[in-house]
Structure 1
Amino acid sequence: MKTGTLATPDAEIYYEVRGSGPPLLLVNGGDGDAAMYGPLAGHLAEDFTVITYDLRGNSRSRLTSPPREQRIEEHGQDALLLLDTVAAGEPAYVFGTSYGGMIGMALLARQPGRVRALVAHEPFVIDLLPDADRWHALFQEVYELYEREGLDAAMGRFCGAIGMEAPPEPTGSLPAPLQEMLARIRVNMGTCLAYELRSFVRFRPDADALRAARFTVVLGGEGPETLVLRTTRALAEHVGTGVGEFPGGHVGYLTHPAPFAEALREAVKD
């Protein structure tokens, strides 16, 4: 594995590159980092040059200007600059989970010729829901709770509302690399609540751009009915496409890396 740092406007992006073959960019969701894709990337590196990275302001991708509210579109520009650096202009396959799928959509809308195929896994496109205003109000409430009572109270409210569990605590009983990743993710949660969540969920995908591309919408095949399953189906309806199913739940790429890699290979193959 090779690592590097890319200077972009207002941030330095940490990235990792594995394998050889056509470029495949894996884009994280909220509060994740490149390490969460490590097992999946290891399986995919047999067939692709796999590029993973930490989103700006998260984990090892430090901001170079004061923190501020962020937009999906500027993250799409980060992804483009990363492809320019690592893939030397070659069109890439792109996979994104949650916010990452939305970043992939912004990248595709901006530079469709740079995306060979896009797979969006459980994207958090709240603004496509008929009750979007209720959710926007709730996320503002979560932010205010974070400011008033701290991370644990806010994440408890957020995860309870959307039907998902928060990542586990980085306890001493876990292997050191996992402890380190979970400690980074805990810090990233604060970044997400303060600067990402409320603006990211107002992103509206360009349906025409997605219809003109090789675009696949997928959800996790296991677990309870969650808000992200509603948003995934809403996106498919918005674009006029079906919904595929990948192994595992919202983090199936981490819990089921081998079958997830096989499903992703099938989804992007020419």
Structure 2
Amino acid sequence: MTAPTTGTLRVNGATLHYEVRGRGPLLLLIPGGTGGAASLAEVAEDLAAAYTVATYDPRGMGGSALDDPEAEQSVAEHADDAFRLLELLSPGEPARVFGASSGGIAALHLLTAHHGRVLRAVVHEPPVVMVLPDAAEHRRLLARVDESFRTEGLMPAMAIFAAGLRKEGAEDAPEPQPQPELPPQAAARTEQTMAGLPYFVGRIVPAFMSYVPDLARLEALSDHLVLAAGQDSPGELTHRPAAHLATRFGKELALFPGGHIGLTTHPKEFTEQLHQTLRT
């Protein structure tokens, strides 16, 4: 794998670590969950033949240190970080953006706040659950996760969170569904993933999943937006917002290989689908 060019960018309250590969028009990849630039390295490498691909560690994760480790997080500030990277790497030229999960939420806000800088935004299963008809139920889930995290710790909170994300009716399944085997590169990042979980559950989940996007603005900009979801995840909570928004905006939902973490479990197939989506 080709070594990327790396750099740091000073933003409000943090210093971002970013990586750049390839040549051509800029494509910014915004990771989700506890992922950072390393989680997108294989995807970035494959896309670098067609694009200048930028990846980064979101503030508070990996090499992107916060000035104040206890600072509360917001979608708007994370989206502004992405905007600052666009300004640095593609000054004056609109760029393509891909965001997965919580990174997809940041990409949605980036599109609404700085639409002139985004040529196309592909967002894969952004868990903007407050747009759903049963938003009150998910607000209660977030409150239970937060209470458990503060009073019982990480793993009990994760158990509540995971139960809230599972497929509708999955609690009645006779046995757990088998989990896909992770590629070696993804399995090797398990330690980093675990290290980032307290920050993710304590700061990112409550801020991002309680976020309410500007739906009127998104609909007006929907020609620049591709809503995507996993082929294997219908019925899961993370799949539902993208499907709901696609219906609301009269757009086709783009289906990608795998489920919510298809980018991790099916990196080659996912990347090919992303490449095709960006070209159309």
Q: TM-score, normalised by structure 1?
A: 0.90
| 1:205 Cα deviation after fit | 2.3
1:200 has 2:200 as partner:
no
The CA distance in 2 between the partners of 1:160 and 1:177, in whole Å, is: 23
Alpha carbons 2:233, 2:239 under 8 Å: kept: no
The CA deviation string for residues 71-118 of structure 1, in whole angstroms up to 9 with x for no partner, is: 111111000001111223321100111111111111111111110101
Letter in 2 for 1:214: H
> Which residue does the alignment assign to 1:156?
159
Q: Which residue, out of 237, 241, 244, partners 2:251?
A: 241
Distance of 2:264 and 2:237 partners within structure 1: 20
Whole-angstrom CA distance in 2 between matches of 1:134 and 1:64? 35
The amino acid that maps onto 2:256 is: F
SS where residue 53 of structure 2 aligns?
strand
Percentage identity across aligned positions?
37
In the superposition, relative to structure 1, how do residues 182 and 89 fare at CA in structure 2: closer, same or farther (>3 Å)? farther
Give 2:141's match in structure 1, choosing from 132, 138, 142.
Answer: 138
Q: Within 2, Cα distance between the matches of 1:207 and 1:136?
A: 19
Aligned to 1:40: 43
Contact kept? 1:94, 1:118, Cα under 8 Å: yes
Q: Provide Cα deviations, 1:218-264, integer angstroms capped at 9, x if missing partner.
A: 11112563111112212223333221101111121222222222211
What is the CA–CA distance in structure 2 between the aligned matches of 1:153 and 1:106, rounded to whole Å?
A: 31
Could you list the runs of 5+ residues in structure 2 that have no partner in the other structure? 168-175
8 Å CA contact 2:39, 2:186 repeated in 1: no
Contact 1:125/1:235 (8 A) holds in 2: no
1:190 equivalenced with 2:198 (yes/no)? yes
Change (3 A) 1:256 1:67: same
Q: How many pairs does the alignment contain?
A: 262
Give the alignment's Cα RMSD to 1 decimal: 2.2
Q: Alignment partner of 1:245: what SS? A: strand
- Partners of 1:42 and 1:268 in 2: CA distance: 16
Structural mapping, 1:77-156, within 5 Å:
77-156=80-159
Query: What CA distance in whole angstroms lies between the structure 2 residues aligned with 1:140 and 1:48?
Result: 41
1: CA distance, partners of 2:184 / 2:271: 24
CA contact (8 A) 2:230 2:258 kept: yes
Q: CA deviation at 1:120?
A: 0.9
Letter in 2 for 1:112: H
| Whole-Å separation in 1 of the counterparts to 2:246 and 2:114 | 21
Q: Which residue of 2 aligns with 1:62?
A: 65
Partner amino acid for 2:250? G
What is residue 171 of structure 1 aligned with on the other side? none
Where structure 1 has 5 or more consecutive residues not aligned to the other structure, the ranges are 169-173
Q: 1:69 to 1:240 in 2, by over 3 A?
A: farther
Question: 2:60 aligned with 1:30, yes or no?
Answer: no
User: Residue 52 of structure 2 corresponds to which residue in structure 1?
Assistant: 49
